[in-house]
Amino acid sequence: MKPEIIAIMPEASILLGLLIMTLVNFFRHYNTPKTFFTLSKLTLVFALLSTIIFYNRSWFPTVFENTAYTSLFKSIIYLLSLAWAYLSCKWFLNKNISSFSYYGLMLLSVLGMSLAVSSLNFLALFICLQGTFLLNWFFIRIGDEDEEEKHQASNRFLGFAVFFALLFAAGCGLLYMRTGDLEYADIYSHFSHTSKLVWIDYAAAGMILAAMIFMLGLVPFHFWYIDVIGVAVLPVSGFLSIIPLFAYVACITDVVLNAFFPVWNVFRPVVVIFGIMSVGFGVIGANAEQNMRRLFGFSSLYHLGIIILCLSAFDDNSVLSSFIYMLVYVLAMSGVYTGFLGIRSKGVYLSELGTVSGFSEVRPYISAAFLVFLISLISTPPLLGFLGKLSVVNNLVIQGEYEIILFVLLAVLMLAYAYLKVIKALYFDERTNSFDRVDKGVYICLTVNLILVLISILNPKYLMNDVEAMLTTIF
Amino acid sequence: MITSFNFLSTIIAIPFIGVLFALTAKDDDKTRGRNAFNVSVFAVITNLLVLWRIAALLDISATGLQLTERYDWLENPKISISLGIDVFSLLLIVAVHAAVLIGMFGARHNKEDGKALMVFSLLFLCMITGFFTAADIFSFYIFFEAMLLPLFMIIGMFGGLRKQSVLSRFFIYNLLGAIFLFFATVILYNYQGVNIALNDVSKVNLNMKLEIFVWGAIFVSFLSRIPIWPFHYWISSISTGLRNPLVFIITNLVPLTGVYGFIRFWPKTVPGVLSYFMIILEIICVISMLFIALIGLINKDFQYKIFSFMTVWYIIYLLAAFLPTDTVLQNIGYALFSFLIIAGGMEVLSNHMEKQQESLDISSGGILCAMPKAARIFTFFVLAAVGMPLSSMFLNNFVLIANLLDKNIRMGFLVIFAIMVVAAGLLQELYWLKDTECSLPDKSGIADISYKAYVILLIICASLVLTFINPLWFIV
C-alpha cells in the first residue's frame, strides 16, 4: 500500500485539537467546561469525518494500516467519545470545575486508541495502547470526590499497570530476540514456519496477551477495573466502561489473527477459562453490590466474558457475533450511564441503590429508559440485547460449545436477579429522596439511544450486512 | 386465504400504537388516568373489530395456519419472522382481549397509577397476541419471552405484594423457562439450517442426544408457566395477594401460554425417551390439581377460589393436549374461550364486592342480596363456571373429560373429582354471598354495579350463551 499523507488527517486533527486546547487553557482566562467540550467536539467530528472519507488509505502502511475493519472501530470510538463528551459536559457544568484535563486526556486517549487499532507492529501497539492505558492514572485522579480513596485506587492501578506494561515490553523484547522484527506478519510467519517452537516463543506471546487481557479487565485481571469504576468521577467511569472496549477488542483480534494465530490453540483454553470466570465472577459480584456503578462494573465483567468466549474461535462468524454483542452492550451501557447523569439529588450524583428508591415517581422517562436498557442487557426480546444473545449463542452452537452456552444462559438468570434489584429500587420502593431537575441533554441522548435500540431491532439486517462486509477485511 | 392486507401484524401493532398514545396522554389529578384508560379501551375494542374481520376471512374447515405473513428479519443467521392464525388461536386471542377489556373496566376506579397500568397491559396484550399468531420457532420464542417484562412490571407495580422476593422468583422462574426454549430454538435452527414452522417442529429428526435435550428443554420451558410442582409456588403466592382485577386476570393468563405452547409444539407421538417423563408429568399434574382444588375449597378467600378454578382447568386442558389425537384441540379452544371470559367476569365482580366490604367494613355474607344486578351476573358466571349448560365450557369440557376417561380411567376419575371439588368451592361461596340469613348492617350503603357495567356484562353473558349453541357464532 502506498503512503498517503492525507490519510493522517484524523490523528493530525486530534493532535491539533489538543494543541489548541492547551493554548486556550493557558492564554484564555474565561473558560467554562463548555469551552473544552466545544473544542473536543469539533476535533472529534473532524476526525470522524476524515476517518470515514479516507477509510482505506494509510499514511504509514508498514506500521499503521487503515482498512474497512480498522475504520469501523475507529469511527465507533470517535462517535461514542463524541456522545460521551457531550454528556460529560453536563457533569462539569453542574460541578463547575475545569474540564480541560478531562477533555485533554480524552482526546489523547482517543488518539492512542485510534493509532493502536491501525497498528501492524508490536512496538507501535505497545506505545499507543499501553500509553493510552497508563493515561488512565491521570483520568482516575480527576475531580474532588473521595480524595483519599481515589488516590489509593489510582496508585494501586499505577502499580499493576506498570507491571503489566513491563510484561508487554518483555514480550515484545523476546519476540524481537527470536524473530528480529516486530511486525505482525513476520511474527505470524515465524510461528507458522518454525518447525519447533521453543518456550520463549510461547512466553512472549503469553506475556503480550496477558497484558492485553489485563487492559480489557477480564478475570483474573479485573480488580483494577472494579476499583476504578467505584471511585472515579462519573464522566471517567462512563468513558472507561464504554469506549476503550472497542479498541482493546479490535487490537486483540488483530494481534491474534495476524500474529499469534498459529499458536492460538495453546492459549485458547486459558482465555476460555478466563471468559467463564468473568461470567461467573461478574454475576456473583453484581448480586453482592448495593452501589449501582459497581454493580454495572461487575455486570460488565459478565458481558466481557461472553464477548471473549464468543470471540475465542477467531473465525469470521465469531468476530461478527462478538462485534454485534459488543455493539449492543455498549449501546445499552451508554444508556445506563446517561441515566446516571439524570439521577441527582441536591447536586450530588447518586449511585447507592437505597438512595434512588421511588425514582420513577418523579422521573418516569429516565426510569423507563433505564428499564429498557436493563432488559436489553439481559438480552430479553424484543429489545436489541436479544440480537446480541442470538448472535453469540448461535455462534457457540455452531462451535458445539453446549456446556458453555448452558453456563452462560444460567448465569444470565443471576444477572437478571441483580438488575431486578435496580428495577425494584427505581419502581417498586417508596421514595425517600428528592431529585434534581434533569438537563435536557440527558433526555435528548436517552431518546436518541432508545430510537437506535428500537430501529436496530426492527430491521437489523441492513446495518449488519455492511458491518459483516467491513469485519471480514481483518482476515 | 390470500389477502393483501397484513391483518396479523395489524392486531399486534394496534395495542402497541395504543401504548404510544397512552404514554402521551395527559395524566394529572384531574384526569386521574382516564385518558389512558379511554385510549386503552379504544385500542382493545378496535383490535376486537379487526379480529372479527379476521374471523370472517378464516376458512373454518381448513387445517393449518391461514392469513400467513412473513418478514425477512436477519441475514446472519438468516431468520424470517412468520405469522399465521387458525380458529384455535383466534378464539384464544379474542378471549384474552375480552378478559383484559373486562379487567380494564374493573380496574378503572382503582386509585393506583392508572396510566402505567394501562400502558403495560396494552404492551402485554401486544406480546400475547404476537405469541398466539407466531408461526415459526423464533417468533414464538420472541413473544414467549417478551411478555415477561410487562407482566413483571404490572405485578411489581400494582400487585401489592408484601414480599418482593416472590416477584423476583416469578421473573427468574419464567426467564429460566424462556432460556431453555431459546436454547432449544437455536439448536433446532442450526440442525435444520432454517427457521422451522411451528407445525413442523415435531417432524425434525434429531439424533438421540439432541432429541432428549431439545424436547426436555421445551418441556421445562412450558412447564415453568403452569402452576404445577415444582413451579407452582410463584403463581399461587402472587395470585392470592392481588387486589386489582386487571392484574389478576393478566397474571392468570400466564399458564395459558404454557398450555398453548404444549398444544402447538408438543408432538402427538412423544419421543421415546420422554414418554417415561410423560407418565411422571401426568401424575404430578393430577396431584397438583387435587391439591389446589382442595385448598380452594377450604380457603375463604374468593380470589383463591377463582385461582384454583383456573388452575384446575388449565391442568385439565394440558392433560387433554397430551392426548394422542387432534380432534380435541378444537374443543380445548372452544372451552378456553368461555373459560377466560367467565374467570375475568367473576374476578371483576368479586373485586367490586370486596371493595364494598372494605369501604363499609362489613362481612361478605349475604352481600349479593344488596346488589341485585351484580347478583344476577355473578350467579350466571358461577353456574357457567361449575359446568351448567350456559356456555361452550359445558359441551366441550364434557368431550375432553370423556377423552381423558377413555385414555386412563383412573386419571379421568381423579380429574372429575377435582372438578367437583372446585365447583363445590365456587357454589359454597355463591351460597355464602347470597345467604339471606346474614344480616348486613347498612344495606343502602352498598353500591351495586352501574347500569352501564350491567348492560356490558349482560351482553357478555348473552354471548357466552351463544357459544353454548354455537361456539363460533360470531364467525358464521
Q: Across all residues in chain A, what is the average pLDDT? A: 87
How far apart, in whole angstroms, are the C-alpha atoms of residue B341 and residue B94? 10
B 211-250 residues with CB < 8 A to A: 213
Q: pLDDT tens for residues B297-339?
A: 998 888 888 889 999 999 998 888 888 777 788 888 888 889 9
How far apart, in whole angstroms, are the C-alpha atoms of residue A171 and residue A122? 10
Residue B112: predicted pLDDT: 66
Q: Is B230 exposed, middle or buried (0-12, 13-18, 19+ CB in 10 A)?
A: exposed
Hey, is the C-beta of A420 within 8 angstroms of any chain B C-beta? Answer: yes
**Nearest Cβ partner of B164 from A389, A405, A428?**
A428
Q: Are the beta carbons of B76 and A386 separated by less than 8 Å? A: no
Q: Which residues of B touch A397 (CB under 8 A)?
A: 186-187, 190
**Residues whose CB is less than 8 angstroms from the CB of residue A451 and which lie 6 or more positions away in sequence, other chains included:** none
Q: Is A223 exposed, middle or buried (0-12, 13-18, 19+ CB in 10 A)?
A: middle
Residue B442: predicted pLDDT: 62
C-alpha cell at A139: 483520568
The mean pLDDT of A7-29, rounded to a whole number, is 88
How far apart, in whole angstroms, are the C-alpha atoms of residue A340 and residue A422? 12
Residue B127: predicted pLDDT: 93
pLDDT level of residue A116 (50, 70, 90 thresholds):
very high
**Residues whose CB is less than 8 angstroms from the CB of residue B318 and which lie 6 or more positions away in sequence, other chains included:** B226, B258, B259, B262, B285
Q: Are the beta carbons of B190 and A397 separated by less than 8 Å? A: yes
Hey, is the C-beta of A455 within 8 angstroms of any chain B C-beta? Answer: no
How far apart, in whole angstroms, are the C-alpha atoms of residue A236 and residue A102? 8
Helix, strand, coil share of chain B (percent; to 5): 70, 5, 25
Hey, is the C-beta of A405 within 8 angstroms of any chain B C-beta? Answer: yes
ipTM value of the model? 0.84
Residue B365: predicted pLDDT: 79
How far apart, in whole angstroms, are the C-alpha atoms of residue A353 and residue A177? 53
How far apart, in whole angstroms, are the C-alpha atoms of residue B239 and residue B154? 12
In a domain, B7, yes or no: no
Residues of chain B with pLDDT under 50: none
Question: For an interface test with A, which of B157, B179, B190, B206 has the most A Cβ atoms less than 10 Å from its Cβ?
Answer: B179
Residue B130: predicted pLDDT: 93
Q: Which residues of B touch A428 (CB under 8 A)?
A: 156-157, 164, 167
Residue B162: predicted pLDDT: 66
How far apart, in whole angstroms, are the C-alpha atoms of residue A343 and residue A363? 9
A391 neighbors A325 (Cβ within 8 angstroms): yes
Does the pLDDT value for residue A474 go beyond 70?
no
Q: Which residues of B touch A423 (CB under 8 A)?
A: 152, 156
How far apart, in whole angstroms, are the C-alpha atoms of residue B77 and residue A321? 10
The most confident of the ranges A313-317, A458-462, B85-89, B130-134 is B130-134
φ/ψ of residue A421, rounded to 5: -60, -40
In a domain, B38, yes or no: no
Q: pLDDT tens for residues A241-273?
A: 999 998 999 999 999 998 888 888 899 999 999
Q: What DSSP state is assigned to residue B474? A: T
**Nearest Cβ partner of B73 from A406, A416, A461?**
A461
Residue B269: predicted pLDDT: 61
Three-state helix/strand/coil letters over chain A: CCCCHHHHHHHHHHHHHHHHHHHHHHHCCCCCHHHHHHHHHHHHHHHHHHHHHCCCCCCECCCECCCHHHHHHHHHHHHHHHHHHHHHHHHHHHHCCCCHHHHHHHHHHHHHHHHHHHECEHHHHHHHHHHHHHHHHHHHCCCCCCHHHHHHHHHHHHHHHHHHHHHHHHHHHHHHHHHCCCEHHHHHHHHHHCCCCCHHHHHHHHHHHHHHHHHHCCCCCCHHHHHHHHHCCHHHHHHHHHCHHHHHHHHHHHHHHHHHHHHHHHHHHHHHHHHHHHHHHHHHHHHHCCEHHHHHHHHHHHHHHHHHHHHCCCCHHHHHHHHHHHHHHHHHHHHHHHHHHHCEECCEECCEHHHCCCHHHHCHHHHHHHHHHHHHHCCCCCCCHHHHHHHHHHHHHHHCCHHHHHHHHHHHHHHHHHHHHHHHHHHHCCCCCCCCCCCHHHHHHHHHHHHHHHHHHHCCHHHHHHHHHHHHHHC
pLDDT level of residue A60 (50, 70, 90 thresholds):
confident
Residue B11: predicted pLDDT: 93
Hey, is the C-beta of A48 within 8 angstroms of any chain B C-beta? Answer: no
A321 neighbors A394 (Cβ within 8 angstroms): yes
Closest Cα in chain A, distance from residue B130 (Å)? 11
How far apart, in whole angstroms, are the C-alpha atoms of residue B253 and residue B265? 19
Residue A169: predicted pLDDT: 92
The structural domain count of chain A equals 1
How would you label A62-91 residue by residue, b for 16+ Cβ within 10 Å and e otherwise? ebbbbbbbbbbbbbbbbebbbbbbbbbbbb
Hey, is the C-beta of A410 within 8 angstroms of any chain B C-beta? Answer: yes
How far apart, in whole angstroms, are the C-alpha atoms of residue A106 and residue A109? 5
> In degrees to the nearest 10, what's the CA dihedral of A373, A376, A380, A384?
130
Does the pLDDT value for residue A276 go beyond 90?
yes
In a domain, B116, yes or no: no
Our CA angle for A213, A210, A307, nearest 5°, is 30
Residue B399: predicted pLDDT: 87
A341 or A464: which carries more pLDDT confidence? A341
Q: Are the beta carbons of B146 and A423 separated by less than 8 Å? A: no
**Nearest Cβ partner of A416 from B143, B153, B172?**
B172
- Whether pTM > 0.90 for this model: the answer is no
Residue B407: predicted pLDDT: 84
How would you label A410-439 residue by residue, b for 16+ Cβ within 10 Å and e otherwise? ebbbbbbbbbbbbbbbbbbbeeebebbebb
Residue B330: predicted pLDDT: 82
Does the pLDDT value for residue A289 go beyond 80?
yes
Domain limits at B436?
271-476
For residue B74, the SS3 value is strand
CA B446 to chain centre: 31
**Nearest Cβ partner of B183 from A405, A417, A424?**
A405
Closest Cα in chain B, distance from residue A372 (Å)? 9
The structural domain count of chain B equals 1
How would you label A297-306 residue by residue, b for 16+ Cβ within 10 Å and e otherwise? bbbbbbbbbb
Which amino acid makes up residue A427?
Y
Domain limits at A398?
5-474
Q: Are the beta carbons of B72 and A461 separated by less than 8 Å? A: yes
Residue A146: predicted pLDDT: 57
B145 neighbors A381 (Cβ within 8 angstroms): yes
Residue B280: predicted pLDDT: 82
How far apart, in whole angstroms, are the C-alpha atoms of residue A164 and residue A316? 30
Q: Which residues of A touch B157 (CB under 8 A)?
A: 427-428
Q: pLDDT tens for residues A378-388?
A: 888 888 888 88
Residue B461: predicted pLDDT: 92
B 347-366 residues with CB < 8 A to A: none
Q: Are the beta carbons of B142 and A406 separated by less than 8 Å? A: no
Among candidate residues B132, B142, B43, B41, the one with its CA nearest the CA of residue B90: B132
Q: What DSSP state is assigned to residue B190? A: H
**Nearest Cβ partner of A409 from B76, B179, B189?**
B179
In a domain, B336, yes or no: yes
Our CA angle for B245, B384, B147, nearest 5°, is 40
**Nearest Cβ partner of B186 from A397, A417, A461?**
A397
Closest Cα in chain A, distance from residue B44 (Å)? 21
Closest Cα in chain A, distance from residue B364 (Å)? 31
B111 neighbors A345 (Cβ within 8 angstroms): no
Hey, is the C-beta of B154 within 8 angstroms of any chain A C-beta? Answer: no
Residue B1: predicted pLDDT: 52
Which amino acid makes up residue A129?
L
Residue A301: predicted pLDDT: 92
Q: Are the beta carbons of A420 and B168 separated by less than 8 Å? A: yes
In a domain, B192, yes or no: no
The mean pLDDT of A105-122, rounded to a whole number, is 91
